[in-house]
Structure 1
Amino acid sequence: MGGLDVDGRLATRFWTKFKNESVFALYTPFFVCLASGNLETATFLHFISQDVHLLNAFAQAYELAEDCADDEEDKNAIRKLRIRMKDKIKSFDSIVRDWGFELPTECTANNPTVKYTDFLLATASGKIGEEKVPGKIATPFEKTKVAAYTLGAIAPCLRLFSFIHKEIQALLDPSDNSHIYKKWIDSYCSENFEASVMQAEDLLDALSVSLTSEELEVIEKLYHQAMGLEVDFFSSQPIAQQIVVPLSQLQEPVSGQLTIFCDFDLTCTAFDSSAILAEIAIVTAPKVGPDGSQTHLTRMSSADLKIKWSALSAQYTEEFEQCMESITPHTGREFNYEGLCEALEQFSDFEKKANLRVVQSGVLKGLNQEGIKRAGQSLILQDGCREFFTKLLKNENIKTDVHVLSYCWCGDLIRSAFSSGDLNALNIYSNELSYEESISTGEIVKKVESPMEKLQAFRNILRKRNNDGQNLAIYVGASIGDLLCLLEADVGIVMCSSPSLRRLGDQFGVSFVPLFSGLVEKQKQLVEGSSSTWKGLSGILYTVSSWAEIHAFILGS
């Protein structure tokens, strides 16, 4: 038998695994408009009418699950959840009446609503998709298994509702009651609703304790499928008003273009490429024989390489801190782009000197080009990065141009990391290693070593762009070297920003705003007849913690 694993509660483990998908619901036009307080009433009433269909299906699924549970305590707990769900539906009418409106008496469920309700009721009836639950469900144990599957299909929806409304509530001023949807938002952030969520998740654990590992995998699949159906449910809500998301749909279909730039190290990857090249060099280095001789005279031994890399890394870290101290002012909080440029001129000198030391040390000498390419092909990009670029480049309705601007010493590593599928269309701009017969000479062909050179490459690309239509430049970066490009782009997005980037930006008056709250503020500013404007050098950068946020913002679900 399987039961719960060492990670604890099933629902917690599943939510953590699939939480990125909740972003696609949060960033829908519906919730961005709801959070801003300017969601049109007709849209909200339509949403409630669809939500009623959904919650009625939950109540019916609870009733079926109650019949399947074999423990009286579990039955009582499920019955209480069903009653709470019915009470929630009844509360909709009073909330709507407080605004002076009435819910539609008859409203047909739309396709995404039907898909979710059908999935939910099929699961509660002992079916998964087109197949029945494995085995017969005549015995009490088999029926309990169906109850567990049912809670696995309900729990993610409840948690998603709680998560989204808490994210929105965090943006509201508690003392400001002018937000028309505040009562609705507060109801889903209440202790009462959270208790319902926790009780459903606890029940899922209780009903799953005796299941096999294969049966727990079934619950995980149901949980994931329910998350996807719920995202589709929110995405399908019709919006007639002007909106700020998804960004790609706001472009002119013929002449508008998105030019997307991104850094590579720590933006697309979890690790710096210099560490990867160091690992390749050490692993492939010749070994020193018992008599002290080397098997390959043109390269350092792996032991010597480790010492050399460690010394270079320590010196870089020490001098980086010294450079940061020298360029960071201690007064003034106004946005000062000119001052930041002057500071990063000094930082550029530091980066170039560090690269020169690497070349002079010889640590890159003897690397095999094919080995670098193999390492690039096996490189794991950050979760959601590859999926975003793949979907972007496959979308024929979006005119886009994508450029990777990187300090990486070896463009082959980047090209290999993006070599699969449609990602060959990415334009790579970085330094290159010099080779003789596919073996590195240790020299770096220097193309972009500093923030100033990266900025110049960024500007050169934009100059070549057709400026007849509605164009937007988006830059995604994570380090100090990206700061100027981030600020000059129409939309600068900081991925899991380093403390040093925040520190330097703060000192020169740069504002770092979480992307979702920034979009809500943009939506507030959007009035009838105006257009959403994104403009560089505003001094505002938007922060994200995952590629899912970027994907949801630019492309939608």
Structure 2
Amino acid sequence: MLGGPGPGTVVDVGGIASRFWIKVRTHSVFVLYTPFFVCLASGHLDSDAFRRCISQDVHFLKAFAQAYEMAEDCADDDDDKSGIRDLRKRVVQRIKTHDALVREWGFELPDESISNNATVKYTDFLMAAASGRVEGEKVPGKIATPFERTKVAAYILGAMAPCMRLYSSISREIQALLVPDDRSHIYKKWIDSYSSQNFEEFAFQIEDMLDKLSISLTGEELEVIEKLYHQAMKLEADFFATQPISQQTIVPLARVLDPAEHSLTIFCDFDIACTAFDSSAILAEIAIITASKFDLDGSETQIARMSSADLRSTWNFLSTQYAEEFEHCMESIVDGRQVGKLDYEGLRNALEHVAEFEKRANTQVINSGVLKGLHLEDIKRAGQRLILQEGCREFFQKIVTNDTLKTEFHILSYCWCGDFIRSAFSSGGLDELKVHSNELTYEESVTTGDIVRKVESPMEKLQTFNDILNECNKEGRQLTVYIGGAVGDLLCLLQADIGIVISSTPSLRRLGDQFGVTFVPLFSGLVTKQRELVEDGSCDWKGLSGILYTVSSWDEIHAFILGS
């Protein structure tokens, strides 16, 4: 066995603060997609809601100032004490100028001398950390010697650092959507303040101090800081998620739709959109491994099949050929010209060539025999062990248990094996998901190499999509969401009321661009929709608008549809 880091060893992959932030960034996505920030970014957040929220800043700042004072007392290095003292001075100055700053933003604060519940939860947590306690328990080790007290200073900063980084991150996301000289956005000064270089330096200063104080800590002590960092981020996220918003909003989708009038039908592709690996390669690998076992024991089977070496060679040839011919197919229909608006019929005609190609490719796979001899149990086992995209499974689990709105969920896939998909979702209450794909044929639970062709092309995906909608309950308004990222998803993405592109392939973007599809980051699109809701009094999602919304993670989809 090769040597490596021993137990408790910390492998340096960057500063402690930046590493912790990367781990909790999921929470920042859910904060960004709260009704509070979507409305604020649109410039139409109810001013009373905004004033109530920022009135709590003083309670946070006072708790920060007190915690910095306690951290300074715990630090044993003069430079560290000086650095922490400087951080405290910045907070104290912010407290002194808070009212004036709020007036500069264009608001008068209400008399909010009492902290709300979410504020109290965070400030109590911070004071507990500053006293050397984590979730009410004494932290590991006795806080007696100066060195031992130093770790408490690190704990304190660990409980504050994510708050600064969150404000900086959120405000920069929002600022990127604003027109620089637009003075009509009433929250622009607030956004400018928290996205400024000065505030970024403040956030970095806290993170740098946390890194310095953590250098000499053990792995166990760093785990305590990480726990504090994560809890602080969660409490901040809860604070914004619970801000009372009296106005009509467009997020989260499942909560703002009236269950008496709407039903939600969600469609999703499988390969790459849900998975980290393409299912065809996994099925081929199962066949090769099965064949290699047969090569070794010489056992007989009713189905004649190739040796593992021949299987691997054949599969490598087929996959290389597929990639080359797919690229040639795309080059034949993408000529670089772009239309001004969506040309759906032109796109559909172009995708007929893709359909013909996909069907030929499946015929070659069947004729090659590479899918012969797979045991059903091996396929199911591989599906159960399949790695899904981060956040994907959690979203599915939430959607199938959602009782806020009548919701159906369907998987539409080119995958050769529906059993493989069903096995991938068999745990965590997901066995009720409806799967529409091709199927392998079996003789006594062993595959024959043939495929029952059900969903091979973009047209068949669209036909399946339409058939499902026609069979759905016609009572009330039916809202459809399609999630995918491959060329074969384009027609369904556009036909759905809301098309969300995840794990997008370059081919999808090239083809979309040519036929007038507009790709908009989801958060930006929601901000625009929120403006429409306020300014026009309505906000209809409808298919064939030519707009598809792009996301970088399942967390964005989760936050948009279900909230936190």
- Distance of 1:343 and 1:514 partners within structure 2: 26
Which of 386, 389, 396 is the aligned partner of 1:389?
Answer: 396
For 1:153, the aligned partner's letter is A
Structure-to-structure mapping, 1:512-523, within 5 angstroms: 512-523=519-530
- Distance of 1:18 and 1:256 partners within structure 2: 34
Which of 203, 220, 232 is the aligned partner of 2:226?
Answer: 220
Equivalent residue number for residue 300 of structure 1:
306
Q: Is the 8 A contact 2:494 2:548 kept in 1?
A: yes
Matched, 1:341 2:379: no
Structure-to-structure mapping, 1:263-282, within 5 angstroms: 263-282=269-288
Compute the displacement of 1:283 (Å). 1.4
Matched, 1:169 2:202: no
Compute the displacement of 1:83 (Å). 1.4
Compute the displacement of 1:530 (Å). 1.9
Which of 526, 534, 537 is the aligned partner of 1:530?
Answer: 537
Equivalent residue number for residue 444 of structure 1:
451
Which of 292, 303, 314 is the aligned partner of 1:286?
Answer: 292
Equivalent residue number for residue 85 of structure 2:
79
SS in 2 for 1:402: strand
Equivalent residue number for residue 470 of structure 2:
463
Equivalent residue number for residue 497 of structure 1:
504
Which of 390, 408, 423 is the aligned partner of 1:416?
Answer: 423
Compute the displacement of 1:2 (Å). 6.0
Compute the displacement of 1:393 (Å). 1.5
Matched, 1:94 2:130: no
TM-score by length of 2: 0.95
TM-score by length of 1: 0.97
- Distance of 2:195 and 2:107 partners within structure 1: 23
For 2:42, the aligned partner's letter is S
For 2:546, the aligned partner's letter is G
Which of 232, 241, 244 is the aligned partner of 1:238?
Answer: 244
Which of 68, 71, 76 is the aligned partner of 1:70?
Answer: 76
Q: Is the 8 A contact 2:271 2:278 kept in 1?
A: yes
- Distance of 1:331 and 1:413 partners within structure 2: 40
Q: Is the 8 A contact 1:35 1:520 kept in 2?
A: yes
Q: Is the 8 A contact 2:44 2:534 kept in 1?
A: no
Q: Is the 8 A contact 1:3 1:209 kept in 2?
A: no
Q: Is the 8 A contact 1:2 1:209 kept in 2?
A: no
Equivalent residue number for residue 25 of structure 2:
19
Q: Which sits farther off after the overlay, 431-440 or 64-73? A: 64-73
Compute the displacement of 1:9 (Å). 0.3
Compute the displacement of 1:51 (Å). 2.3
Compute the displacement of 1:287 (Å). 5.9
Compute the displacement of 1:177 (Å). 2.5
Matched, 1:203 2:205: no
Equivalent residue number for residue 3 of structure 2:
none
Structure-to-structure mapping, 1:21-36, within 5 angstroms: 21-36=27-42
Q: Is the 8 A contact 1:487 1:540 kept in 2?
A: yes
For 2:361, the aligned partner's letter is A
Matched, 1:551 2:558: yes
Equivalent residue number for residue 266 of structure 2:
260
SS in 1 for 2:292: coil
For 2:409, the aligned partner's letter is V
Q: Which sits farther off after the overlay, 138-147 or 3-12? A: 3-12
CA shift digits 1:330-367 (9 cap, x unpaired)? 32322100000001111100000000000000000000
Relative distance call for 1:4 and 1:176 in structure 2 (3 A) is farther
- Distance of 1:532 and 1:198 partners within structure 2: 40
- Distance of 2:426 and 2:268 partners within structure 1: 16
SS in 1 for 2:203: helix
- Distance of 2:109 and 2:147 partners within structure 1: 42
Q: Is the 8 A contact 1:248 1:555 kept in 2?
A: yes
Relative distance call for 1:75 and 1:326 in structure 2 (3 A) is same
CA shift digits 1:174-227 (9 cap, x unpaired)? 122221111111111112111111111111111111111111111111111111
CA shift digits 1:472-492 (9 cap, x unpaired)? 100000101110000000000
Compute the displacement of 1:288 (Å). 8.3
Relative distance call for 1:120 and 1:479 in structure 2 (3 A) is same
For 1:409, the aligned partner's letter is W
Compute the displacement of 1:554 (Å). 0.4
Compute the displacement of 1:253 (Å). 2.3
Q: Percent of aligned positions with the same letter in both sequences?
A: 66
Relative distance call for 1:3 and 1:137 in structure 2 (3 A) is farther
Which of 169, 186, 189 is the aligned partner of 1:180?
Answer: 186
SS in 2 for 1:517: helix
Matched, 1:352 2:359: yes
- Distance of 2:57 and 2:259 partners within structure 1: 33
- Distance of 1:75 and 1:18 partners within structure 2: 28
Which of 55, 62, 66 is the aligned partner of 1:49?
Answer: 55
Q: Is the 8 A contact 1:2 1:211 kept in 2?
A: no
Q: Is the 8 A contact 2:65 2:92 kept in 1?
A: yes
Q: Is the 8 A contact 1:252 1:470 kept in 2?
A: no
Q: Is the 8 A contact 1:488 1:536 kept in 2?
A: yes
For 1:554, the aligned partner's letter is I
Which of 138, 145, 148 is the aligned partner of 1:139?
Answer: 145
Equivalent residue number for residue 151 of structure 1:
157
SS in 1 for 2:161: helix
Compute the displacement of 1:104 (Å). 2.3
Equivalent residue number for residue 196 of structure 2:
190
